[in-house]
């Protein structure tokens, strides 16, 4: 059975890898990728730190602190993800509709107000003539 707080034992020098990344002018994730590439000439300690940084980045903040998320928090997270997906899909549908109609985006924004139906009727009448 795995240890409960293995992360506390794994981090020997807190902040050391982040400081190295900062000195290199990179984020910790970018520096970890650079260090773990084949042929990089850094110490074994730095390579171990990079490997640990990559592993810890995969964990959520809750898991890293050793606290399990409650059922409500998991539900909220899944709802937020679903909402974000729907919003993204909705934006892409609107964009496709604008492209298909050949109307500029600025004009389309004006048509989303209360006068939208009136404008649509007027545009249909113009097309008929």
Domain coordinates of the chain in residue numbers?
Answer: 1-68, 95-129
For residue 128, what pLDDT is reported?
65
3-state DSSP of the chain = CCCCCHHHHHCCCCCHHHHHHHHCCCCHHHHHHHHHCCCCCCCHHHHHHHHHHHHHHHCCHHHHHCCCCCHHHHHHHHHHHHHHHHHHHHHHHHHHHHHHHCCCHHHHHHCCCCCHHHHHHHHHHHHHC
For residue 66, what pLDDT is reported?
59
For the entire predicted model, the pTM comes to: 0.46
Task: Please give the average per-residue pLDDT across 39-43, as a whole number.
Answer: 89
Distance in angstroms (rounded) separating the CA atoms of residues 38 and 14 = 25
Tokens 């990728």 found at: 33
Distance in angstroms (rounded) separating the CA atoms of residues 69 and 63 = 8
For residue 25, what pLDDT is reported?
94
Residue 101 pLDDT level (bands cut at 50, 70, 90): low
For residue 86, what pLDDT is reported?
77
Surface-to-core class of residue 56, CB atoms within 10 Å of its CB (0-12 exposed, 13-18 middle, 19+ buried): middle
- pLDDT tens, position by position, 71-96: 767 777 777 777 777 777 777 777 77
Residue 19 pLDDT level (bands cut at 50, 70, 90): very high
């Amino acid at each position: 059975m795995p240890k409960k707080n293995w992360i506390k034992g794994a981090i020997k020098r807190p902040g050391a890898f982040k400081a190295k990344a900062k000195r290199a002018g990179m984020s910790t994730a970018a520096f970890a990728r650079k260090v773990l590439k084949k042929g990089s000439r850094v110490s074994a300690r730095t390579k171990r730190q990079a490997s640990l940084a990559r592993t810890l980045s995969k964990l959520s903040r809750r898991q890293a602190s050793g606290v399990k998320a409650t059922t409500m928090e998991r539900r909220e997270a899944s709802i937020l993800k679903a909402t974000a997906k729907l919003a993204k899909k909705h934006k892409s549908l609107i964009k496709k509709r604008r492209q298909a109609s050949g109307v500029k985006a600025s004009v389309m924004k004006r048509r989303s107000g209360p006068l939208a139906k009136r404008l649509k009727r007027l545009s249909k009448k113009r097309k008929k003539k």
